[in-house]
Amino acid sequence: MPAPAIVWFRLDLRLADNPALAAAVTHGGPVIPVYIHDPEAEGGWKPGGASDWWLHHALEDLAARLEKAGSPLVVRKGESLKELQKLVEETGADLVVWNRRHEPAVVARDTLVKTKLRNAGLKAESFNGNLLHEPHLVKNLSGNPFQVFTPFWKNCLANLKFGEPLKAPRKLTPPGKAPKSVALKELSLLPKIKWDVQMREAWEPTRAGGEKRLKEFVAKAMKAYPTDRDIPKIDGTSRLSPYLHFGQVSPLEIVDAVRSAGGLGLKGGDKFVAEVGWREFGHHLLHHFPETTDRPLRREFEKFPWAPDKKLLRAWQRGRTGYPVVDAGMRQLWATGWMHNRVRMIAASVLVKHFLQPWQAGSKWFWDTLVDADLASNTLGWQWAGGCGADAAPYFRVFNPVLQGLKFDPDGEYVRRWVPELAKVPAEWIHEPWNAPMHVLAEAGVQLGKDYPAPLVSLEAGRDRALAAFKDLRG
């Protein structure tokens, strides 16, 4: 029998459509699945508490599935290269396989791992298991990376053939002797205080949970997706982003589900697949412009006159800005680890435009609080909001949170759900309670400045300050 093969799991916590796992099975010997907890390898972007919460449950689920398939998950913590080398010595493995990631610090780590293992006489191979189309393969006519989404995605669709997802192996051959493994609880991924109650109610962070969400979405919500995706009070989005980030569901499985439901070529299906394309675009940009996690892609914005203010930032983080739709989103984020995408755009705009806070501050908060915190997507979104990235909304385009609220939450149901102190304010005033007549607020039991804050920065003053700062930048 061939020597064992080690499968190094990372953000690909599934058995189906996993090319690294498939390669280990094809190798013909025992398969040793391993997860190594190595947060230092993430550089300055160690996962936040919400991500750790999801990771714990995803690993728990993966371990159960591998146990059922016949080869238990080995859990280690420490430096990835050293733990892999130890595992090779313990098991006699001659092959180490994994699926590629594209975060800058991880790429550097993985390159070192591959070099060291190969220099030691081992076979070390990596695969594309996390994207539809790898970043280095997509180039414009000049041979350069794209910086605008539409031509990027057209290029991908023209050159990409959606294949069939790989089936999960039914049976894995275990090693003769089980390698040492630490208990999952030793990774300390779960909160020490129980702040995750609503997260547990909101999510099923397992492979089965992801499959269920995908199946229900393509069956019930995909057709109306182009319009319903912007309405925060309804379940009009797929909510698959955390499953995608942790690799419990692959992007190809999503496309295949849309295709199987007859959605490709239809408005709803194509719009939804294009959102998977935005994820691809984020990874494309991160691969080619790794410095953009902290620095603007449009370098002139390095001189932008931000006005950092800890009190404003803290109020935004706590959902106490005085703009109800923003505060609803920020509270939804804190409670569930997720925020509706339309509300993310509004909340981000208010932070960087009306409050004039650096986009990096918002990026770091989302990174720490989102269960779907993905470095590529997070960077893309915040640079878009800040007007300083690829495909950026012009900086002078300032979202008006009142108009946005009236358009996408006209009856105020979303706001009432997450800002209960405004629950009795009539719909016509719920997005601008500071303009409501005194008797209306009194009847609703709201005293501005006590029960709920007035806007910390007025709409007009915030917009004017943002535009003045942009004018100064342009000189």
As annotated, the active-site residues are 275, 278, 306, 341, 359, 382
Residue 272 to residue 263: CA distance in whole angstroms: 9
* Among 277, 398, 289, 307, residue whose Cα is nearest residue 348: 398
Owner of token pair 């910390």:
456
Whole-Å CA distances, 219 to 224, 273, 315: 11, 15, 40
- Name the β-bridge partners of 126: 98
With contact defined as beta carbons under 8 Å apart, do 353 and 399 qualify?
yes
CA torsion sign, 338 to 340 to 346 to 348?
positive
Cβ count within 10 A of residue 439 = 8
With contact defined as beta carbons under 8 Å apart, do 30 and 5 qualify?
yes
Tell me which DSSP letter residue 357 carries.
Answer: -
Provide DSSP, 389-408: STTPPPTT----HHHHHHHH
Provide DSSP, 394-463: PTT----HHHHHHHHSTT-HHHHHH-GGGTTS-TTTTT-GGGS-HHHHHHHT--BTTTBPPPSS-HHHHH
- Name the β-bridge partners of 36: 76
Q: What are the tokens at 158?
A: 């023209």
Residue 269 to residue 278: CA distance in whole angstroms: 14
With contact defined as beta carbons under 8 Å apart, do 6 and 34 qualify?
yes
Crossing angle for the helix pair 401-408 and 324-336, to the nearest 10 degrees: 70
Cβ count within 10 A of residue 197 = 9
* Among 333, 448, 418, 317, residue whose Cα is nearest residue 429: 448
Tell me which DSSP letter residue 221 carries.
Answer: I
Q: What are the tokens at 163?
A: 């294949």
Q: Residue 150 belongs to what H/E stretch? A: helix 149-159
